[in-house]
Amino acid sequence: MKEQEYVIKDIDSFELKDIFDCGQCFRWNEQKDKSYTGVFKNNVVNVKKEKNKVIFNGICEKNIKETIEDYFDLNRDYEKIKKQLANIDKYMKTSIQYGKGIRILNQDLWEMIISFIISANNNIPRIKGIIERLAKEFGNEIIYRGKKYYTFPTAEQLKDVTVEEYRKLGLGFRDIRLYETTKMIVEKKIDIKEMKKNPNTIEVREELLTLSGVGPKVADCILLFSDLKRFEVFPIDVWVRRVMNDLYIKKEDETKVSKKQIEQIAKEKFGTLAGLAQQYLFYWRRGA
């Protein structure tokens, strides 16, 4: 396939570091020239920011302009969203200033399910390593600028992988979860295509929770970061618990703060934009 290019001038709310380091994705890596290269669906793309321009270059299955507009959520007015959230209080204002270039990517649902199962009780370098090894072992090769890249393996491609093989790739105790979840999806016990059509987030969440390795936090990450795009959820991990306690609850021991309390505060403060608020707060507190 041939390289394509797409250039955008004067775009708001678009900073490479904020987008790729805010915790939503695992397959974008910074290059020597400060650009980022990543693999998503059957595409390999390099993104570079120069002055008032953003340059997208890569191998895309379809038209690069449409591919990028969809993946980078370019048709959403983040300036408007940020204004709304910044009005809530001074903490939101601060965190939004910090992560002003964040955009929530439209990532593949299946990839997000597997990626966030892997993320459980794990650290980012290791999560990224595992995903790369999975892709190299079971995904498709794409050559871009003389270098080999690998697509995220489909459910079909993981169908016959054994628990032992996963263990060899360093999955650890998540091996069985990957195996079982893949099986459920391939056998259509859970139909992830139908999920996208269901506007009832509560129902979709319940369905996700039946998958092995998917608990409340992972389910919410999937809902928020995949192309399900449910902005009303509020994934609570250690960092979010920390920042919510620091700002709004102020208990001595943050680990004793109940999830319920955090959820309630998130709902009344942030409403349908809770997921976005979570991202700004998470990124700010973590100080990436």
Binding site for DNA (CB under 7 A): 23-24, 116, 119-126, 167, 170-174, 177, 211-219, 221, 237-239, 258, 260
Tracing tokens 């009344």 back to the chain, one arrives at 268
Tracing tokens 């904020």 back to the chain, one arrives at 18
Instruction: Please list, in sequence order, all residues whose beta carbon lies within 8 angstroms of the beta carbon of residue 218, skipping any fewer than 6 positions away.
Output: 116, 117, 119, 120, 208
* Separation CA 119–CA 219 (nearest Å): 12
Report in angstroms how near the CB of residue 223 gets to DNA at its nearest.
11
Report in angstroms how near the CB of residue 115 gets to DNA at its nearest.
9
Q: Any idea how long the chain is?
A: 288
* Separation CA 135–CA 124 (nearest Å): 16
Q: Judged by CB, which is closer to DNA: 74, or 129?
A: 129
Residue 77: φ, ψ to 5°: -90, 90
Report in angstroms how near the CB of residue 216 gets to DNA at its nearest.
5
Q: Judged by CB, which is closer to DNA: 193, or 256?
A: 256
Q: Judged by CB, which is closer to DNA: 218, or 276?
A: 218
Report in angstroms how near the CB of residue 212 gets to DNA at its nearest.
5
* Separation CA 260–CA 257 (nearest Å): 9
Q: Where are the beta strands (DSSP E) in 27-118?
A: 28-30, 36-40, 43-50, 53-59
* Separation CA 181–CA 247 (nearest Å): 37
Q: Judged by CB, which is closer to DNA: 119, or 226?
A: 119
Report in angstroms how near the CB of residue 57 gets to DNA at its nearest.
25
Per DSSP, the chain holds a count of helices (H) and strands (E) of: 15, 7
Report in angstroms how near the CB of residue 44 gets to DNA at its nearest.
21
- The first and second tokens of residue 98, run together, are 């910090």
| Sign of the CA dihedral running 103, 108, 114, 115 | negative
